[in-house]
Structure 1
């Protein structure tokens, strides 16, 4: 992490080499504990690196660029991972989470969905574990009045609320992996130029989900549902202010340091995590709490950073694949093929969205497909870069709710012990069938205005 920051912020080549060597050692040490999917991605990355060495006359620059991209995402994931550690130890997070879970049925979808999106700003995919575990604990047979059908209906509705809320992150989060990938591959864009287009898109995505949840509610069970009293929203407001402060700190670092937003995340998030941890430790013995926070990080660093091994391998390896694939592909021929389709503007953005989603159903991580499409189309010759970026952000969100192979789907599947195919294709099938044409029509409307 330090090596990557030295390279990106101060342009020190020594920092780049420190990061490269340290990350390779980390991957070797963590290899025995990696899941099958993570190992598969790393092995494919190694195979592709070998092909680059074999096929290209000067492979070293490409290999270093790919390794630097892997270092960046490893640092990115680890930075957000530190926030996750702070959040998991926070009483405020537990209280705010319980507030979301205990809402009345009519308000449960918006509070859970928006709450998941809000928590996801800080703890990323950890929000699925956090809220999923809370749902499992709160959705007992006793809480359902002894009716197992109510318990099952609640489980499905709450899990879909959480999943769709988490899928809002690619469209609303300036701190997310999606934004980092798009801004890294389309340097002409910034969060400020994307937000006016992406946020209304996210609102449509959310409103459709809310309407469908209400429309498909099991009305025949309404009379059986025991009466409950909605809790105070105060913890949720407090957490919202905390999330806003952390997000604003990222923008402040970007502005003051004249850094691109993804780089500012690497600086601001670890600092915010340590300050948050220090505030928690302060209650244990007075003072600033900073020495105790740093001691905690030092003692548990092996577990804290080891817990990110899967995300680093999957996300970093996928980003690395995108870099390694680009020089092996005849970009000019592909570009000519795209031109021959006579697709321009919104039509090209919609086609890119559908392609990313289709490849995700086959197990290809959106990082790879988005990286390649951003490289091919990012010059704006066939579509406005903002429109194309929003199309790929929509594709990322759609992949998260429809592909059985995404990390979010696998996490929920393990939590509730149901097949990822059941969650993705049966539970979410109607929403997917409705949201795809809605987003396509919306992009056509945007194409007229951009």
Structure 2
């Protein structure tokens, strides 16, 4: 984006963070309008998918409003939600400013491939999830970009290169997909807790952990042999790269500040992350650079670099509010009066996310619509925790399967592999084994667990 547009986009992020601190929906709606102006002003600098999704969401919302199907209150909510989700991504993405400052992040693959071969897959998945919890999509940039550079520098090509890509990057993608299940910084958690104030990340965590364990074990069984071949070509490090302890201290500081914010305010942990991540990042950059101008310039550039993803998040929020507003309040009444009915409802909700993502409807759009329906169902007796657990599982699966999703497209670009291969061929066996196990897990949690307690 141009300099003026980049600064305006950063101002919109800052305005939304202030709106959150003041609990001001009106200011949030103004921030949403500012975001939309920035995205429209970007024009063809937005990727085609982001541009089309934004235009569709605005046209649909305007059409509903003109026809009297959408009230002013829903327009304000749509704008405020658009600002929240764009700022969520923009603020968490600030951690990407730290990547170039730490050698350990540039040599992350040599670090992760060390140790016993048996543990390489779960190590990659868990560490990828941990990094993505802080860096969000920056994690895929980091792992994909560093691996591509490493392979080119060492002259790894042909079948060997393909094995590296399939083992390492698929593991990283699946680790990234664990974020909605276990991380408080997940946009899926932010969407659900925003629509259901009685819900919290801590309530979802036990169910997310159970699903994450299943996904890690399935991947572990499938990838062990391939990792054995890859690990023989790694460079063994004599010691940890410089700056490792400092990086770990920074991450620990971020999460500690998040815990403090949650303990002394009424903010959800996702909001605490939006405040803590840019604060610690900017303070560290200022301490290192000793120049406010340099820090501000880099911060603005980092926010601007995410304008495509932020546009997608904003458009999805607007579309979610508009579409969910048209569904009659009693349309789903009576569907969740029994545990069996709730399981069927949860399964449909879970599977709709990856299935629709396959045809280009990204999971954040689907989840935004689904989340808009939940308050009325919860008022009728639906357990918000169990249905939300099903939706975050579906969101996790969609992140691996959507050939249009940012994570798969990043992996495809850096690995020079068609995104259809990444989404379907590399993950087909994994999904075919994991999905039935996850459906059994949902049955245990929804049908059997309540009767056992």
TM-score (norm 2): 0.87
- Equivalent in 70, 76, 80 of residue 92 of structure 2: 80
TM-aligned CA deviation for residue 18 of structure 1: 4.6
Cα distance in 2 for partners of 1:115, 1:346 equals: 32
- Equivalent in 366, 378, 385 of residue 363 of structure 2: 366
Structure 1 residue matching 2:341: 3-state secondary structure = coil
Cα distance in 1 for partners of 2:153, 2:269 equals: 46
Question: Which shifted more, 382-391 or 398-407?
Answer: 382-391
Equivalent in the alignment of 2:310 = 312
TM-aligned CA deviation for residue 14 of structure 1: 6.3
Structure 2 residue matching 1:76: 3-state secondary structure = helix
Equivalent in the alignment of 1:286 = none
- Equivalent in 171, 194, 199 of residue 184 of structure 1: 194
Equivalent in the alignment of 2:449 = 449
Report the CA distance shift for 1:297/1:411 in structure 2 as closer, same or farther (over 3 A).
same
Pair 1:205 & 2:215 matched: yes
Q: Equivalences for 1:221-260 in 2 at 5 Å?
A: 225=232, 229=236, 232=239, 239-260=247-268
Asked if the contact 2:207/2:389 (under 8 Å) is kept, the reply is: yes
Pair 1:149 & 2:159 matched: yes
Pair 1:52 & 2:64 matched: yes
Pair 1:347 & 2:344 matched: yes
Equivalent in the alignment of 2:10 = none
Cα distance in 2 for partners of 1:217, 1:96 equals: 19
TM-aligned CA deviation for residue 161 of structure 1: 0.7
Cα distance in 2 for partners of 1:375, 1:29 equals: 29
Question: Which shifted more, 57-66 or 184-193?
Answer: 57-66
TM-aligned CA deviation for residue 101 of structure 1: 5.0
Equivalent in the alignment of 2:7 = none
Pair 1:196 & 2:206 matched: yes
Structure 2 residue matching 1:139: 3-state secondary structure = helix
Asked if the contact 1:103/1:230 (under 8 Å) is kept, the reply is: no
Q: How many residues align?
A: 434
Equivalent in the alignment of 1:163 = 173
Asked if the contact 2:94/2:281 (under 8 Å) is kept, the reply is: yes
Report the CA distance shift for 1:249/1:189 in structure 2 as closer, same or farther (over 3 A).
same
TM-aligned CA deviation for residue 349 of structure 1: 1.6
TM-aligned CA deviation for residue 431 of structure 1: 0.1
Structure 2 residue matching 1:198: 3-state secondary structure = helix
Pair 1:273 & 2:271 matched: no
TM-aligned CA deviation for residue 73 of structure 1: 1.2
Cα distance in 1 for partners of 2:316, 2:367 equals: 10
Cα distance in 2 for partners of 1:259, 1:74 equals: 18
Equivalent in the alignment of 1:295 = 293
Cα distance in 1 for partners of 2:430, 2:70 equals: 48
Gaps of 5+ in 2: 1-12
Equivalent in the alignment of 2:103 = 91
Asked if the contact 1:101/1:134 (under 8 Å) is kept, the reply is: no
Q: Equivalences for 1:400-415 in 2 at 5 Å?
A: 400-415=399-414
Equivalent in the alignment of 1:173 = 183
Which deviations, in whole Å up to 9, do the C-alpha atoms of 1:86-110 show, x marking residues without a partner? 3343334335454125666544322
Asked if the contact 1:178/1:396 (under 8 Å) is kept, the reply is: yes
Equivalent in the alignment of 1:66 = 78
Asked if the contact 1:90/1:280 (under 8 Å) is kept, the reply is: no
Cα distance in 2 for partners of 1:337, 1:413 equals: 44
Asked if the contact 1:185/1:371 (under 8 Å) is kept, the reply is: no
Cα distance in 1 for partners of 2:334, 2:354 equals: 20
Equivalent in the alignment of 2:417 = 418
TM-aligned CA deviation for residue 150 of structure 1: 2.6
Structure 1 residue matching 2:361: 3-state secondary structure = coil
Pair 1:117 & 2:129 matched: yes
TM-aligned CA deviation for residue 440 of structure 1: 0.7
TM-aligned CA deviation for residue 205 of structure 1: 1.3
Report the CA distance shift for 1:16/1:350 in structure 2 as closer, same or farther (over 3 A).
closer
Question: Which shifted more, 420-429 or 355-364?
Answer: 355-364
Report the CA distance shift for 1:415/1:102 in structure 2 as closer, same or farther (over 3 A).
farther
- Equivalent in 249, 255, 264 of residue 272 of structure 2: 264
Pair 1:356 & 2:364 matched: no
Which deviations, in whole Å up to 9, do the C-alpha atoms of 1:423-449 show, x marking residues without a partner? 111111000101101111111122222
Report the CA distance shift for 1:172/1:340 in structure 2 as closer, same or farther (over 3 A).
closer
TM-aligned CA deviation for residue 44 of structure 1: 0.6
Asked if the contact 1:99/1:236 (under 8 Å) is kept, the reply is: no
Equivalent in the alignment of 1:399 = 398
TM-aligned CA deviation for residue 340 of structure 1: 10
Equivalent in the alignment of 2:6 = none
Cα distance in 1 for partners of 2:240, 2:440 equals: 36
Cα distance in 1 for partners of 2:308, 2:355 equals: 24
Pair 1:217 & 2:226 matched: yes
